[in-house]
Amino acid sequence: MKRIAVFTSGGDAPGMNACIRAVVRGGIYYGLEVYGIIRGYKGMIEGDFIKMDSKMVSNIIQRGGTILKSARSEEFRTKVGREKAYQQIKAHHIDGLVCIGGNGSFTGAEIFYQEYGVPTVGVAGTIDNDLYGTDYTLGYDTAVNTALDAIDKIRDTADSHDRVFFIEVMGRDSGYIAIQSGIGGGAEIVMVPENPDTFEGVVETLAQATRSTRRSSSIVIVAEGEELGNAHTIAEHVKSKLPYLDIRVTNLGHIQRGGKPTAIDRLLGSRLGLAAVEGLIEGRACVMAGIVNDKVVYTPFGDAIRKKKPLNTDLIKLVNILSI
State residue 224's pLDDT score.
95
State residue 213's pLDDT score.
56
Q: Evaluate whether residue 322 is within a structural domain.
A: no
State residue 215's pLDDT score.
63
Contact 141, 18 (CB under 8 A): no
State residue 245's pLDDT score.
93
| 220 in the same domain as 119 | no
State residue 211's pLDDT score.
73
| 174 in the same domain as 104 | no
| 132 in the same domain as 12 | yes
Q: Evaluate whether residue 162 is within a structural domain.
A: yes
Q: Evaluate whether residue 270 is within a structural domain.
A: yes
State residue 313's pLDDT score.
85
| 265 in the same domain as 135 | yes
State residue 74's pLDDT score.
94
In terms of Cα–Cα distance, which of 273, 275, 321, 301 is closest to 68?
273
| 126 in the same domain as 271 | yes
Q: Evaluate whether residue 318 is within a structural domain.
A: no
Going from the first residue of the chain to its last (324 residues), give the mean pLDDT of each consecutive group of 10, the final group possibly shorter.
96 97 98 98 98 97 97 94 98 98 96 97 96 97 98 94 95 93 95 93 88 75 95 97 95 95 98 98 98 98 94 89 80
The active-site residue, picked from 12, 48, 95, 128, is 128
| 278 in the same domain as 230 | no
Sign of the CA dihedral with 51 first, then 58, 32, and 64 last: negative
Q: Where residue 127 sits, what CATH number does that domain have?
A: 3.40.50.450
| 204 in the same domain as 79 | no
The structural domain count of the chain equals: 2
| 114 in the same domain as 8 | yes
Domain that holds residue 197: 142-257
pTM exceeds cut of 0.85: yes
Strands (E), 24-162: 33-37, 49-52, 96-101, 120-124
Q: Where residue 191 sits, what CATH number does that domain have?
A: 3.40.50.460
Using CB atoms within 10 Å of the CB of residue 313, give its burial: 0 to 12 exposed, 13 to 18 middle, 19+ buried: exposed
Q: Evaluate whether residue 313 is within a structural domain.
A: no
| 245 in the same domain as 196 | yes
What are 295's strand-pairing partners? 292
* Other beta carbons within 10 Å of 283: 9
* Domain boundary residue, one of 257, 290, 314: 257
Q: Evaluate whether residue 59 is within a structural domain.
A: yes
| CA–CA separation, 12 and 117 (whole Å) | 26
* Domain boundary residue, one of 257, 292, 316: 257
| 205 in the same domain as 62 | no
Q: Evaluate whether residue 134 is within a structural domain.
A: yes
Using CB atoms within 10 Å of the CB of residue 277, give its burial: 0 to 12 exposed, 13 to 18 middle, 19+ buried: buried
State residue 88's pLDDT score.
98
Q: Evaluate whether residue 317 is within a structural domain.
A: no
In degrees and rounded to multiples of 5, residue 50 shows phi and psi of -135, 140
Q: Quick check: is 53 catalytic?
A: no
In degrees and rounded to multiples of 5, residue 194 shows phi and psi of -75, -15
Question: What are the CA-CA distances from residue 145 to residues 33, 150, 171, 237 (Å)?
Answer: 36, 9, 14, 29
| 129 in the same domain as 40 | yes
| 185 in the same domain as 111 | no
